[in-house]
């Protein structure tokens, strides 16, 4: 137990002392609104998604993330709007983020559209020292604290029914949420840069194949590259696998329960030394969509 706590504290120290990263998702292709505001309304329907991720199961204080989002196009306009809520718990810290997204879409081809998006976010951060076993309880840098910080972000998203490419920075402001006794920030919101892309191949009338990639760059952290390959069978069942560079292998599955309802699950197996201290990560989500008569989605999509 002490070994597990020590390992986690060392990881948390490296992450919190220098730069906080955004929440991590294996099934980001269904939850794109949280990292790219230009995605708002791109599905042509009101899309409601709930996701829960528990990471590194069995490791004390490991991250847990819950996300809820709603986004929709505005009828007979080029605008899309969205709102999302993310709850992150890591050890003694909790962060709640509420975001509002606005997108504007222009056609750039017969079936291709280019969207521009803006994101406004309010971050509520809490450090509960009651969850710490500190040697020096009076250490100013370990005292409980609450803070609120606003932020803004932006993104672009080029897409059709066959492919997508997106570039985004969800938060431009590097807010400093906590300071030590020397007034040095020990918890800073870092800039997260995202580049995503994917393409759908029709292998047969009943089988679609989509390779996809997410590249994430954060100052002070290793470059993250997620590659995935998914197969959609009979427009109902999705099976796939993913690899997070130098971090984890993932298995993914999803099922189109009805025209409006889709459910998905992912399991991550660590490839780092952390695999000796946890039993993997689990991620589930449920998406419900209300289709619009003026812009109905003809067939299910991967993204």
**What's the pTM?**
0.84
Cα 41 to Cα 67, 75, 77, 146, 159: the distances in Å are: 18, 10, 11, 34, 12
**What's the CA gap between 24 and 169, in Å, rounded?**
15
Residue 19 pLDDT > 50: no
Split at pLDDT 50, 70, 90, the class of 185 is: low
Residue 13 backbone phi and psi in degrees, to 5:
-60, -45
CB proximity list for 100: less than 8 A, separation 6 or greater: 81, 82, 83, 119, 120, 121
pLDDT digits (tens, 9 = 90+) for 1-15: 434 443 444 444 444
H or E element at residue 9: helix 2-18
- Are 79 and 102 contacting, i.e. CB atoms less than 8 angstroms apart? yes
Rg of the Cα atoms in the chain:
20
Assess contact for 15 and 187: CB atoms under 8 A.
no
pLDDT in tens, 198-223: 999 999 999 999 999 999 998 777 88
Two tokens, residue 76: 């007979």
Phi, psi (degrees; rounded to nearest 5) at 9: -60, -40
Which among 155, 143, 170 has a CA at the least distance from the CA of 114?
A: 155
Q: How far, in Å, CA of 269 to CA of 238, rounded?
A: 19
Tens of pLDDT, residues 21-30: 678 899 988 9
Lowest mean pLDDT among 12-21, 49-58, 200-209: 12-21
CA dihedral 269, 286, 20, 123 (to 10 degrees): -160
**Out of 31-40, 52-61, 230-239, 257-266, least confident range:** 52-61
* Residue length of the chain: 303
Q: Which domains, ranges and CATH numbers included, belong to the chain?
A: 44-132+143-292 (2.40.160.40)
């Amino acid at each position: 137990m002490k070994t597990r706590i020590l390992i986690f504290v060392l990881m948390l120290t490296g992450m919190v002392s220098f730069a906080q990263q955004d929440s991590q998702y294996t099934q980001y292709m269904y939850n794109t609104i949280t990292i790219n505001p230009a995605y708002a309304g791109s599905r042509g329907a009101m899309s409601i998604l709930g996701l829960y991720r528990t990471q590194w199961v069995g490791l004390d204080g490991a991250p847990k993330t819950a996300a809820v989002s709603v986004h929709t196009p505005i009828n007979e306009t080029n605008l899309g709007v969205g709102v999302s809520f993310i709850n992150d718990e890591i050890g003694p810290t909790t962060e709640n983020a509420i975001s509002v997204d606005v997108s504007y879409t222009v056609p750039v081809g017969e079936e291709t559209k280019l969207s521009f998006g803006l994101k406004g976010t309010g971050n509520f951060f809490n450090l509960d020292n009651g969850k710490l076993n500190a040697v020096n309880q009076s250490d100013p840098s370990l005292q409980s604290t609450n803070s609120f910080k606003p932020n803004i972000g932006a993104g672009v998203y080029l897409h059709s029914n066959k492919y997508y490419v997106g570039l985004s920075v969800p938060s431009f402001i590097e807010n400093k949420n906590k300071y030590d006794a020397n007034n040095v920030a020990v918890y800073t919101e870092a800039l997260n840069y995202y580049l995503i892309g994917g393409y759908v191949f029709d292998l047969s009338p009943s089988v679609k194949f989509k390779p996809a990639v997410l590249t994430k760059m954060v100052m002070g952290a290793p470059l993250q590259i997620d590659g995935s390959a998914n197969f959609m069978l009979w427009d109902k069942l999705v099976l796939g696998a993913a690899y997070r560079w130098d971090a984890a292998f993932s298995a993914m599955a999803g099922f189109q329960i009805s025209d409006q309802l889709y459910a998905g699950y992912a399991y991550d197996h660590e490839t780092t030394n952390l695999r000796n201290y946890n039993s993997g990560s689990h991620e589930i989500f449920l998406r419900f969509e209300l289709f619009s008569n003026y812009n109905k989605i003809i067939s299910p999509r991967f993204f």
